[in-house]
Amino acid sequence: MTGQPGGGPATRSLRATLPGDPRAAAAARRLVRSALADWAGQEFPGAQRLTSRLADEAELLVSELVTNAVVHAGTTVELRCRLDPQGAQWPGPEPFGGRHGEPYAAPYTEAAPGAGLDGAPGPGILIEVSDHHPTQPIRARLDSAASETGGHGLQLISAVAESWGITYRRAMKTVWFRLPMGAADDAGRLEPELAFDDRLLQRELRAAELLAPAPRRAVRPEHDSGRVDNGALSFLAEASDLLSGQLDADQVAALAAQLIVPRLAEWCAVWLYDGDGGAPGRGIAPAGEEQRLAGVWHTSECRIDPLRAALEKQPPDLAGSDPSGSAPVPVRWPWTHGAGDDDGPGAVLACPLVAGGRRLGTLLLGRGGLPVFPDAVVALIEDLGRRVARAVATARAYSRQERISQVLQRRLLPCGRAQVPGVESAVVYEPREGAWAGGDFWDLFDAGDGRWCFALGDVCGSGPEAAAVTGLARPVLRLLARDGFGVAAVLDRLNKTMAREAADSVAAVAAAVAAAGAGAEAPVEIRVEGEQARFLSLLYGEIVPYPGDSRGSRGARCTLASAGHPLPLVLGTDGAVRCVAAPQMLLGVVEDASYVSESFDLRPGETLLCVTDGVTERRSGRRLFDDEDGLATALAAGAGLDATALAEHLRSTVHAFGPTPPDDDLALLVLQAAGGGAP
């Protein structure tokens, strides 16, 4: 896409070339919206007349014309837009000057409300959309005849624009139109928009009817069955894109109201139930639950607060609607005087928001000075309401899952870590992005009798299964440690507990499957999926600080064991790194496995580092972080840092190793003996 601005001091213009593919319409909408916003910020006469209503109309017409050009011509599309704040005379059939030879046919122009009494146009926006085709002169008259039945582009222009026309040139067809800007008084102040002017209302209502799909009960002629209403589909597709990306129900409500106003209604409000909605399959309101006004919008922003106050006094009550459970449809709702305006009665629609058979809220929209909404607009609102309801349901499901994950994280992790005398500690724990619940866990607690125990574990699996194992392992570790069991004995008993839990689960599933297939002619195959999630890699140990003297800490005695876990490292005061454990079998694999522990002194100034495989197996292409002793190298580079600074150094080094975020949980525990005298 290419584009360039231009124009003199009294005009502003934009020219762009768009690709002949489905992206062109969206690009054209963005360009026009951006150009009008830019012009509105310029300090020249007439800029204050560029209103949001004018931008909506220009964006709508340009989107329709570009869509038609792409569908019917399939070539690149030229878009030109010019601001004429002085109300200069239209320069004939070529609004931007002659190009590409003489016109093939003189354009047809209609006068519309907004022109002066003498027929001279007032200040306005001039826009033209051109497509290239080598047979354009031959097809020109055929296209003119077909335009009455092939799409809504010209019908929308005639309903909204002040004047318009078609110009045929060799290998080019141009459709142009002019939108009038709001009038200003002698002092230069912009007069109120003609939001409730009868002629403007009819024009906008006609545009809404053209955009809306035909009522479902109407039967189209057979020869018209293949035609697609591009305008309505574009509107609904754009709405779906905007709504589906929201993960907050209130944000969905706010966007829905702004999508409807001012295209289809003068004001809109969205109510939501804060619970899970009504009974599934019924589509009726949940008993005893009140709706909350989640979003309100009005064409005039100064009326939003009064509208909200009026609507909160009388929320829509559709509790008895649609008891059969069929698809909910919009229903007429009594106009409340003062709810939208003080200009008289109007039409109001109430559309239940139902997704998955559950009532999630109500969409209410109204328009003053209108007896009823046309059936075509009702059908469009019905379709949009279903999309809003699905977006609300998705946002709520995400919020529920996020809350569950947060609760699990809080319950599966310790509330804090114990303070070990003479030993500084630091922890880094980062669940994988988007994880339901982290499979890694850590702990550092006081086991009594001058012992402090630490653990760093990694469940083989993720999700609820991994969370269940974590919920089993951490309490068992604490219980056994506080009962006085040593490191090896704790691992032996935890291993037996996990192995028996896995065996009981397999037996229960096998029995259930066998019972279900008892009467079957064919044998039933018993397969238990996901049991590998009950295996656990664990680094567990205890630390006993040596009594200090007048010179400070004397270090600590460490005893630990690694069950299928990355081996711990010790960084000495001389910068050397050594491994201090031997690998042993995962927990939960073999019930009668026996574990052994190893002991060593953590001297003053030395650091013990424990990590999960999310650190050692961090990827960058085919390389792993711990290839060629990468972890030991990173640890040695942090010599001289305290525990907290060293933990942050390692975390940032792991993140910087790959171009993408880590695809596994990250957890590391740093224990550093305070400097001082020798033990």
- pLDDT of 304 > 80? The answer is yes
Measure the CA dihedral 647/653/657/660, to 10°.
70
Domain 2-193 class? alpha beta
Q: What is the pLDDT of residues 410-424, one digit of tens each?
A: 666 777 789 999 999
Most confident range (mean pLDDT) of 6-10, 467-471, 509-513 is 467-471
Query: Tell me, what's the pLDDT at 60?
Result: 82
Strands 423-430 and 666-673, sheet pairing: antiparallel
- pLDDT of 351 > 80? The answer is yes
Query: Which residue spans of the chain are classified as CATH 3.30.450.40?
Result: 229-404
Query: Tell me, what's the pLDDT at 95?
Result: 42
Kindly state the average pLDDT of the residues 211-236. 50
Query: Tell me, what's the pLDDT at 400?
Result: 83
Nearest CA to 457 among 496, 516, 413?
413
∠ Cα 10 14 19 (to 5°): 170
Nearest CA to 169 among 202, 208, 130?
130
Query: Tell me, what's the pLDDT at 511?
Result: 62
Query: Tell me, what's the pLDDT at 279?
Result: 45
Residue predicted with more confidence, 285 or 189: 285
Nearest CA to 483 among 496, 468, 494, 467?
494
Query: Which residue spans of the chain are classified as CATH 3.30.565.10?
Result: 2-193
Q: What is the pLDDT of residues 486-543, one digit of tens each?
A: 999 999 999 998 888 766 655 555 565 566 555 544 454 444 444 444 688 999 999 9
Query: Tell me, what's the pLDDT at 669?
Result: 96
Query: Tell me, what's the pLDDT at 529?
Result: 45
Would you call 660 exposed, middle or buried from its count of C-beta atoms within 10 A (0-12, 13-18, 19+)?
exposed
CA–CA separation, 130 and 139 (whole Å)? 15
Instruction: Mention every residue, 6+ apart, whose C-beta is less than 8 A from residue 634.
Output: 625, 649, 650, 653, 654
- pLDDT of 172 > 70? The answer is yes
Nearest CA to 346 among 517, 147, 201?
201
Using DSSP's 3-state secondary structure scheme, residue 362 falls into strand
Q: What architecture does CATH give domain 415-515+527-673?
A: 4-Layer Sandwich (3.60)
- pLDDT of 427 > 50? The answer is yes
Work out the mean pLDDT of the chain and round it to a whole number.
75
- pLDDT of 241 > 90? The answer is no
Residue 85's pLDDT band (cuts 50, 70, 90): low
Query: Which residue spans of the chain are classified as CATH 3.60.40.10?
Result: 415-515+527-673
Give the pair of three-digit tokens for residue 45. Answer: 């006469």
Answer whether CATH 3.30.450.40 is correct for domain 229-404: yes
Kindly state the average pLDDT of the residues 186-197. 44
- pLDDT of 199 > 70? The answer is no
∠ Cα 290 294 300 (to 5°): 130
Q: What is the pLDDT of residues 98-128, one digit of tens each?
A: 443 333 333 333 333 333 334 556 778 888 8
- DSSP conformation letters of 406-427: HHHHHHHS-SS---BTTEEEEE
218-227, 269-278, 485-494: the lowest-pLDDT one: 218-227
- Which residues partner with 542 through β-bridges? 453, 559
- The answer to whether 80 and 127 are in contact (CB under 8 A) is yes
- Residue 508: count other Cβ atoms within 10 Å of its Cβ: 11
